[in-house]
């Protein structure tokens, strides 16, 4: 997906700080036998890159699609396949594994493993491990679309959900058998977010959050516009972390080249006027509003209906100031609403940030110097000041934008806590 790799976590040495949100976690990767086993091999590497220890558990059928040696090489772990081959007589492997792990993934989950799990059958290592595992388990179905649509499979999925398990996907598209339909294993961004949500404490559970992100475009004519270098990375990272903590997130976004996070309510806009309309409308029932967007301050007084022709040697533009959305939100603030602003500067960061928080009145202002090459616009890292209305300033070091978003959400949660 275009742009998504900007947030990837594997980076060569000497490059910006890595973000490893699964550091210290142990993930059991339960692989059952379908064509998507090769994707599970790829995901095992990606999950490991997020900092987790990944222990593969394969059904015998899964080993016919991809050798356990591949999983062992990708995860650096022993691969469990057979309930009865114990290496050490004093430990029962499925019990030991069930105790040691934070989460169990059934990925891919075939119709067969869904059926066995839904009915408590335990006739091999993976299905036995599932029953013995007391923590959260996530199912990622993958199968032929007719098998998925079959009432038996659907009933099994409903039964697993009624036990409290999360079932993620499948996607719709072309499948290995050549059919089009619903049955493809969920893509990596969806899988990643589901794991991170399952691991994260739900500190924003059910809270309604509105986030604006990206640049706006102010049109001169049908083909030309004035804009800025905002990539949307910071606002999208704020949205992903809020979702991982259980918030219901609406994202109003200017044009960017990164995909909307899975499960977000997405409201795409182009101009500052459209952003103003969308944000003010959607702010009515939001408990927390985060204005990350780099809204244009000026817009052409006239938008020509046809393409402006070249001719005169010197052309002047008449620009009109746009409405300041953040100030308006503060003026219209609802009871117990928390409003957070951002601030992009190229000089005098502290002075300008203190001026802006006084002038606009948000509960926090996140200020960054966008003239630095490793911070601000269009890079995966940022270095910010968190400014409070009283003038307190917390200075954060250079961090991956997702880690920064975590720190910012920690501060916002503190404000939320003070309200209750």
Active site members: 177
Phi-psi region of 14 (alpha: psi -120 to 50; beta: other; left: phi over 0): left
209 binds ligand CTP (CB under 6 A): no
Q: What is the DSSP code string of 356-387?
A: HHHHH--SEEEEEETTSTTSSTTSSEE-EEEE
Element (H, E) at 261: none
* CB neighbours of residue 361 within 10 Å: 17
Min dist. Cβ of residue 287 to ligand CTP (A): 18
Q: How would you write 263-294 as a 3-class SS string?
A: CCEEEECCCHHHHHHHHHHHCCCCCEEEECCE
Query: Which of 25, 409, 102 minimizes the C-alpha distance to 247?
Result: 409
111 contacts 148 by C-beta, under 8 angstroms: yes
For ligand CTP, the binding residue among 295, 375, 384, 408 (CB under 6 A) is 295
Min dist. Cβ of residue 341 to ligand CTP (A): 4
348 binds ligand CTP (CB under 6 A): no
For residues 185 and 294, which CB has a smaller minimum distance to ligand CTP in the complex? 294
Report phi then psi at 127, rounded to 5. Answer: -70, -30
Which one of 81-89, 93-101, 104-112, 294-302 is the stretch in contact with ligand CTP (CB under 6 A)? Answer: 294-302
Which one of 172-180, 286-294, 303-311, 386-394 is the stretch in contact with ligand CTP (CB under 6 A)? Answer: 286-294
For ligand CTP, the binding residue among 50, 196, 249, 291 (CB under 6 A) is 291
For ligand CTP, the binding residue among 190, 196, 260, 293 (CB under 6 A) is 293
221 binds ligand CTP (CB under 6 A): no
277 binds ligand CTP (CB under 6 A): no
Using CA atoms, how far residue 68 sits from 76, 93, 117, 172, 257, in Å, is: 11, 17, 23, 28, 37
Sign of CA dihedral 80, 81, 83, 89: negative
List the x/- string, 296-335, binding to ligand CTP by CB under 6 A.
Answer: -x------------------------x-xxx---------
List the x/- string, 361-400, binding to ligand CTP by CB under 6 A.
Answer: ----------------------------------------
Q: Name the DSSP class of 318.
A: -
344 binds ligand CTP (CB under 6 A): yes
341 binds ligand CTP (CB under 6 A): yes
Residues near ligand CTP (CB under 6 A): 272, 291, 293-295, 297, 322, 324-326, 341-344, 356
């Amino acid at each position: 997906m275009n742009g998504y790799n900007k947030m990837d976590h594997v980076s060569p040495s000497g490059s910006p700080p890595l973000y490893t949100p699964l550091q210290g976690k142990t993930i059991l990767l339960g692989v059952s036998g379908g064509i998507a086993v090769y994707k599970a091999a790829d995901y095992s590497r990606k999950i490991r890159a997020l900092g987790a220890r990944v222990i593969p558990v394969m059904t015998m059928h899964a080993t016919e699609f991809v050798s356990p040696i591949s999983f062992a090489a990708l995860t650096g772990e022993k691969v469990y396949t057979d309930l009865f081959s114990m290496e050490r007589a004093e430990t029962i492997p499925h019990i030991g594994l069930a105790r040691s792990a934070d989460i169990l993934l059934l990925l891919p989950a075939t119709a067969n493993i869904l059926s066995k799990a839904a009915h408590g059958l335990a006739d091999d290592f993976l299905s036995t491990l599932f029953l013995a595992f007391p923590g959260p388990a996530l199912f990622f179905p993958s199968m032929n679309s007719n098998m998925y649509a079959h009432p038996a499979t659907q009933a099994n999925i409903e039964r697993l959900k009624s036990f409290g398990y999360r079932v993620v996907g499948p996607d719709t598209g072309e499948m290995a058998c050549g059919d089009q339909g619903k049955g493809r294993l969920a893509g990596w961004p969806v899988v990643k977010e589901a794991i991170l949500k399952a691991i994260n404490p739900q500190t924003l559970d059910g809270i309604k959050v509105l986030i604006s992100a990206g640049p706006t475009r102010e049109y001169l004519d049908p083909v030309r516009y004035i804009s800025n270098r905002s990539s949307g990375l910071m606002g999208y990272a704020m949205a992903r972390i809020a979702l991982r903590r259980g918030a219901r997130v609406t994202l109003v976004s200017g044009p960017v080249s990164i995909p909307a996070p899975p499960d977000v309510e997405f409201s795409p806009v182009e101009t500052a006027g459209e952003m103003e309309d969308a944000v003010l409308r959607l702010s009515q029932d939001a408990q927390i509003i985060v204005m990350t967007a780099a809204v244009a301050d000026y817009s052409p007084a006239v938008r020509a209906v046809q393409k402006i022709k070249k001719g005169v040697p010197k052309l002047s533009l008449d620009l009109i100031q746009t409405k300041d959305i953040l100030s308006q939100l503060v003026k219209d603030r609802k009871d117990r609403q928390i409003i957070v602003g951002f601030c992009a500067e190229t000089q005098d960061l502290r002075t300008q940030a203190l001026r802006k928080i006084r002038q606009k009145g948000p509960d926090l202002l996140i200020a960054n110097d966008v003239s630095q090459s490793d911070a601000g616009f269009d890079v995966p890292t940022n270095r910010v000041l968190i400014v409070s209305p009283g003038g307190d300033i917390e200075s954060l070091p250079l961090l991956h934008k997702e880690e920064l978003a975590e720190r910012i959400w920690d501060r916002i949660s503190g404000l939320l806590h003070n309200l209750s």
